[in-house]
Amino acid sequence: MAQTAGRRYIKAFVSGFFVAVPVTVTVLDRLAYVARVEGASMQPSLNPDGVSSSDVVLLNRWSVRKYQVQRGDIVSVVTPKNPKQKIIKRVIALEGDFIKTLGYKNRYLRVPDGHLWIEGDHHGNSFDSNTFGPVSLGLLHGRASHIIWPPNRWQRIKPSVPPNREPLLNWGGSSEDEEK
């Protein structure tokens, strides 16, 4: 009789496992997942203590499913240079915005339709749009909504654009310049 109860327990566990795993994977793939932020490119917003500790963030996938992001959001994107690598950067400009770049081949740029301009907060140590240009919205992977580790840094991440990185409102270029 003990074997029968044990077998029922194992059978229930295995069947529950085979239901729970695909559901969990689907939820994490569609809704949110966690990611460890490595490096100094987002300092001081993320990893303020340097290489001694890494922040872990909650990446909200649901909120970007229709490519709805705003200036100042911290997002995860597939890097245009390596489809196997994801990077976390701040959205500086949206499609149609005019910006002054920080070393890109064009000093001033209109962000093309269907693209974002992303930058790390630590400009001297960031692989971002100033290196590879505007990023296609199709490479958007998630929006960082909360810092969940370490516990002393638990917080909601609020969108903010550094004051000196706001898009240009009155660029004054001609329509011919916009096409370039």
Q: Can you give the pLDDT of all 180 residues of the chain as single tens digits? A: 556 777 887 877 767 767 676 766 666 666 778 889 988 899 999 998 866 678 999 999 888 877 789 999 999 999 998 999 999 999 999 999 999 999 899 999 999 999 999 999 998 889 999 999 999 999 999 999 999 998 999 999 999 999 889 998 655 444 444 444
**Predicted pLDDT at 154:** 93
Angstrom CA distances, 60 to 50, 135, 144, 169, stand at 25, 19, 6, 30
User: Residue 180 catalytic?
Assistant: no
**Predicted pLDDT at 169:** 67
**Predicted pLDDT at 174:** 43
CA distance linking residue 57 with residue 35, whole number of Å:
6
**Predicted pLDDT at 31:** 76
Fold designation for 32-169: Umud Fragment, subunit A (2.10.109)
User: Residue 41 catalytic?
Assistant: yes
**Predicted pLDDT at 32:** 78
pTM of the complete model beyond 0.85: no
Q: Considering 45, 89, 126, 129, which one is annotated as catalytic?
A: 89
91 pairs with which residues across the strands? 118
CA distance linking residue 67 with residue 141, whole number of Å:
9
CA distance linking residue 147 with residue 141, whole number of Å:
17
**Predicted pLDDT at 51:** 60
**Predicted pLDDT at 175:** 42
Q: Considering 41, 45, 126, 129, which one is annotated as catalytic?
A: 41
DSSP 168: B
Angstrom CA distances, 106 to 42, 65, 79, 96, 122, stand at 23, 30, 20, 16, 21
**Predicted pLDDT at 178:** 44
Q: What is the dihedral of CA 145, 150, 153, 157, to 10 degrees?
A: -10
**Predicted pLDDT at 179:** 41
Entry field: residues in the chain = 180
Residues in contact with 87: Cβ distance below 8 Å, sequence separation at least 6, in sequence order? 41, 76, 77, 79, 127, 128
